[in-house]
Amino acid sequence: MPLETPAMEQLSTLSGKYGDEGDQLLYKILNSGDYFKKLSAYQTQAMGHEELDKTFIPSYDNTIENLDPKKSLPFIAEKGLRYDLTVPFARYVTMNRNSITLPFKRYQMQTVWRADKPQKGRYREFWQCDADVIGSDSLVNEAELLKMYDEVFALLNLPVVIKVNNRKLLSALATLIKAEPHFVAITVAIDKLDKIGQSGVTDILVQTGLDTKQIQQILTFLNLGKLANPIEAAEVMLGDLEEGKLGIAELKKLREFLSLLSPFNTIEFDFTLARGLSYYTGAIVEVQANIGAFKSSIGGGGRYDNLTGIFGMPGISGVGISFGLDRIYDVMEEQQLFPSYLKTNDTKILFCYFDATTQLKALSLCAELRNNGIAAEVYPDITKKIGKQLEYANKLQINYACIIGESELQSNTLQVKNLQSGEQHPMEINSLITLLQ
């Protein structure tokens, strides 16, 4: 079923769900009214002012520069703009737990906002199209959602690579090399392998504080992807660990399901896929266009085991995918994948005229055509220049022009010109309606 959630959420709902970077990219909304004057002495202290009391507040110039932005934020901004569709969905599920039936499926197509510097393929406001299943652990859901990616992009004629991994393997890897505290740093580093290569990844890991042996094991893990049976190879490496065992089992099961669904696109298991959103716990997926120069992801998703738990409804697992609509548009525009019929004008005919009297006639004829379900337009300005009006129709790709002058008014007929063939015939309004219907 379709679902929509408000553009604004409580900042407390959004904070901490997307990683450190995510919190910085959240658009915060200032509280209403004179939020500084409303602050209590206690609150101003909490904002970093040991000696500040309320009488001091009205002197804004003195106070603002002394405020600690991080400490101040909760007091001056309680709302933020939607950052993705998954977290609001989890909030919705929690709030409506009594009225929805699990497993619950929904799709959601709305804009989200990131407080980012815009650049190529990167927008401050963009559309996401999400599909999620919540309240079921089954890997059938993963398989079906991956197949949904596959089918949608096949319908769009846009070849893609769908990359799949499992967070549990990455987690097991961190356990194996005894570097659990550096889990996030490790995932961020290996995610960059494509861009900066092994040496670049090594550099980052050294800076993180890992030793040579640990780094070597990470690189070994990454290279498993090149083998013929990467999942089995990973099993040898990580299968003794609890999370490794689970992750391997999930990937194997998913591979089995997918083999039955005969995908059109490449679905590959890629151990370098990490993803930054912190709420993913199991399968993670990312979609890349397999055509053109744009290499950033045009879709992503994964399984989140405890997102509703944060809102007070533990033990519910969900999995979802997201289509990055704007980036998909960008790639399709670049590759000219939009079908030509989308580019034609719906307007069938333009009414051309010469003076105030024929203008009235054109308006009433146009209305009559519209009443018959025909898209028609009237040239808006009075001009003696018929050529200009025809050229306007041309530029708008309107195929017919109806010319109304004094002689047509008297004979009660219409001159209808086909702008492609150049042919022009007099006809009655009824035959014009038949012609265009």
Partner RNA sequence: GUGGUUUUAGCUCAGUUGGUUAGAGCGCCUGAUUGUGGUUCAGGAGGUCGCCGGUUCGAGCCCGGUAUUCCACCCCA
Contacting positions for RNA (CB under 7 A): 19, 21-22, 25, 84, 114, 116-123, 126, 128, 188, 191-192, 195-196, 274-277, 286-287, 296-300, 322, 324, 326-327, 354, 383-388, 390-391, 393-394, 403, 405-408, 415, 417-422, 424
Pairing of strands 400-404, 8-10: unpaired
| 48 or 121: CB nearest RNA | 121
Residue 313 CB, shortest distance to RNA, in Å, is 23
Question: H-helix or E-strand containing 114?
Answer: none
Pick 29 or 100: Cβ nearer RNA:
29
Least separation in angstroms between residue 407's CB and RNA is 4
Residue 324 C-beta: closest distance to RNA, Å: 3
Nearest CB to RNA, comparing residues 17 and 49 = 17
- Both structure tokens of 392: 């306007």
Tell me how far, at minimum, the Cβ of 54 lies from RNA, in Å: 29
Whole-number minimum distance, CB 115 to RNA, in Å?
A: 9
Q: What DSSP character marks residue 54?
A: G
CA angle 236, 302, 90 (to 5 degrees): 140
Contact present, 424 and 415 (Cβ < 8 Å): yes
Rounded Cα gap, residues 179 and 437, in angstroms: 71
Distance, in Å, from the CA atom of 87 to the CA atom of 24, rounded to the nearest integer, reads 16
How far is it, in rounded angstroms, from Cα 187 to Cα 167?
Answer: 9
Nearer to RNA, 256 or 334 (CB): 334
- Shortest distance (Å) from residue 288 CB to RNA: 9
Based on CB atoms, which residue is closest to RNA, 93 or 188? 188
Give residues with Cβ within 8 angstroms of 286, minimum separation 6.
Answer: 162, 163, 273, 275, 297, 299, 300
Q: Which is closer to RNA, CB of 121 or CB of 239?
A: 121
Residue 293 Cβ vs RNA, minimum distance, rounded to whole Å: 9
Nearer to RNA, 44 or 187 (CB): 187
Of the two residues 192 and 253, which places its CB atom closer to RNA in the complex? 192
Residue closer to RNA by CB (options 45, 335) is 335
Angle, in degrees to the nearest 10, between helices 139-155 and 242-260: 50
Are 5 and 109 a contacting pair, CB within 8 Å?
A: no
> Residue 177: phi, psi to the nearest 5?
-95, 10
CB of 181 to RNA, least distance (A): 17
- CA 108, CA 128: separation in Å to the nearest integer? 8
Minimum distance, C-beta of residue 158 to RNA, in the bound complex (Å): 13
CA-based torsion, 185, 306, 168, 151: positive or negative? negative
User: Who's near 349: CB < 8 A, 6+ residues apart?
Assistant: 369, 374, 376, 377, 398, 399, 400, 401, 402, 416, 432, 436
